[in-house]
């Protein structure tokens, strides 16, 4: 039997990770390299002459004498954790297919639960901001889905109380292989919401395949073709070959979330979806996940705890 090339690819081994990023100096040097690929330039006067202070975390300009922190203005700003801890967290988050919870990070990294929670949510925010402006194009399967709200006594299915509605979309090749996905929390399955979503996340002229839910017709107003598959809904829709990938990915998402997290609070739902999306869309390159995530984290503005806790809904 042919081996699945996603499952059997070589990841970043623990040994290799420790060899490259085992010390604070190595982590600082790598951050400096990714932050200033053309070399350090003083943000105040533009000089490239500097000296390093305080364990490489600060650079002092030789001309204007002002200091620049390695992580100021990035998602790592004002962290009390050493960079080695951030790297270890990013290693655990990126190399485990199902993800890792704040509680597990707290245990593995030996930091407080609150520090682990902040770190985890900051990194999920990086993933969210990275992919939000990359539209899908070509053939796209879409479906409605819900997170949470599975307490006993609740209604089942569309519109159930306490659930967070989100839209799942999968771009496929002409040969029906999945390319990338987009998972977006929306206010509800209404035409206006779908139109806004389509304008933002789909390239016009794409072909959208969905089930019979009426609001999906709104994609045509955004310039897309719409193939509507009328099926029985519920479990029966899983059998529809036209919606095979969106249903498979929703199944994987739900088991990953169930296996890793106790509960996903509605106001943080988009971050959890974005984390799954980010990892899925980069599934062919496990080795590069760590440097790429740090690279974009260095280009994501700071997110103080207060802002982090406002959430997104």
Give the binding site for Zn ion (CB under 5 A).
42, 44-45, 47, 61, 63-64
* Nearer Cβ to Zn ion (68/210): 68
Cross-strand pairs, 227: 209
Closest distance between Zn ion and the C-beta of residue 65, in Å? 7
- Residue 32 or 246 with smaller CB distance to Zn ion: 32
Tokens of 295: 């690279």
Residue 268 sits at φ, ψ, to 5 deg, of: -105, 0
- Residue 59 CB, nearest distance to Zn ion (Å)? 10
Biggest CA pair distance of the chain: 72
Q: What is d(CA 269, CA 211) in angstroms, rounded to the nearest whole number?
A: 24
Please state, in angstroms and rounded to a whole number, the distance separating the CA atoms of residues 130 and 291: 14
CB of 35 to Zn ion, least distance (A): 16
Instruction: Provide the minimum distance between the beta carbon of 38 and Zn ion in the complex, in angstroms, as a whole number.
Output: 16
Distance CA 56, CA 46 (A): 20
What's 40's DSSP letter?
Answer: -
Choice between 59 and 279, CB closer to Zn ion: 59
Nearer to Zn ion, 35 or 292 (CB): 35
Q: Where are the beta strands (DSSP E) in the chain?
A: 50-53, 58-61, 67-69, 139-147, 164-172, 178-185, 207-210, 225-228
Hunting for tokens 């997110």 — which residue is that?
303
Bridge partner residues of 141 (DSSP)? 170, 209
Counting runs of H as helices and runs of E as strands, what totals does the chain give? 10, 8
Q: Which is nearer to Zn ion, 69 or 252 (CB)?
A: 69
Nearest-approach distance from CB 68 to Zn ion, in angstroms: 8
Our CB check for Zn ion shows the closer of 44 and 55 to be: 44
CB of 41 to Zn ion, least distance (A): 9
- From the CB of 62, what's the least distance to Zn ion, in Å? 8
Among 91, 89, 126, which residue's Cα sits nearest to residue 105? 89
Backbone angles phi, psi at 218, to 5 degrees: -60, -20
Strand pairing category for 58-61 and 67-69: antiparallel
Of 61 and 296, CB closest to Zn ion? 61
């Amino acid at each position: 039997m042919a081996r699945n090339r996603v499952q059997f690819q070589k990841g970043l081994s623990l040994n290799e990770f420790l060899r490259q990023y085992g010390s604070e100096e190595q982590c600082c040097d790598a951050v400096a390299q990714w932050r200033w690929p053309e070399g350090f330039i003083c943000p105040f006067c533009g000089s490239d002459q500097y000296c390093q202070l305080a364990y490489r975390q600060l650079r002092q300009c030789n001309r204007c004498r002002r200091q620049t922190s390695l992580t100021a203005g990035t998602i790592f700003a004002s962290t009390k954790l050493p960079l080695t801890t951030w790297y270890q967290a990013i290693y655990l988050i990126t190399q485990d297919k199902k993800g890792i919870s704040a509680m597990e990070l707290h245990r593995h990294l030996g930091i407080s639960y609150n520090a682990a929670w902040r770190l985890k949510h900051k990194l999920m925010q990086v993933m969210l901001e990275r992919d939000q402006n990359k539209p899908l194009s070509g053939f796209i399967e879409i479906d409605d889905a819900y997170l949470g709200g599975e307490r006993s006594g609740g209604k089942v299915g569309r519109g159930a109380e306490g659930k967070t509605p989100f839209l799942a979309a999968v771009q496929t090749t002409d040969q029906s292989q999945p390319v990338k996905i987009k998972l977006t929390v929306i206010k509800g399955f209404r035409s206006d919401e779908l139109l806004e979503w389509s304008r933002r996340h789909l390239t016009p002229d794409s072909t959208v395949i969905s089930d019979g839910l009426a609001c999906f017709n709104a994609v045509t107003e955004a310039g897309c073709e719409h193939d509507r598959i009328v099926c029985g809904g519920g479990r029966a829709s899983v059998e529809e070959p036209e919606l095979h990938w969106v249903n498979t990915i929703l199944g994987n998402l739900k088991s990953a979330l169930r296996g890793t997290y106790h509960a996903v609070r509605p106001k943080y739902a988009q971050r959890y979806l974005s984390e799954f999306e980010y990892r899925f869309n980069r599934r062919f390159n496990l080795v590069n996940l760590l440097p790429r995530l740090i690279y974009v984290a260095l280009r994501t503005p700071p997110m103080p705890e207060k802002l982090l806790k406002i959430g997104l809904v």
